[in-house]
Amino acid sequence: SEKGASAWHFSFMADWGLVMCAFGVPVADGQAAAVLVMYGILLSRLPLYLWSRQSLRERIQTDRPINLLAAAMLAGSAPFAGFAARVLLLRGATELYWPLALVIAIGLLLWLPPSLRLGRSLGLPRGRQAAGTAIALALSVAIGVYPQPILSLAGL
């Protein structure tokens, strides 16, 4: 549906806003957070959006475990890559100016309900879509649990 596609587009804009906030924090943690969020967009959010397009057209929404896992990943919950990025961003913002970290934390909490709606918009993945969703979730968990290889590639 048009609303579902708009929700995905706004989620991409929100993630890019998070990247801009992270680049604006002039400490190493901010830069590391920006890199992790960008990898999250490329390796997790973009594939999930592409795989959700069919269910968006058919207006299918489900509350299966895979949808809840996708919602948790999109919200930046632990152990996904978004969690490590958010922790680094909040740590860098706290080091810079703690009220900034408070504002960012409130913004991140407001991120939760839209992420649940996006996770539901995946429908019930089948076949290659299910395999791709599982790979995107597994990559996000791997980066979230051990982000150092990605940060080393970026020179951080």
Q: What is the pLDDT of residue 155?
A: 84
Cα separations in angstroms, 142 against 32, 44, 139: 16, 12, 5
Average pLDDT score, the chain: 89
Percent of the chain exceeding pLDDT 70 equals 98
Confidence of residue 90 (pLDDT cuts 50, 70, 90): very high
In the block, tokens 């002039």 appear at: 26
The mean pLDDT value for 83-92 works out to: 94
Classified as helix, coil or strand, 134 is helix
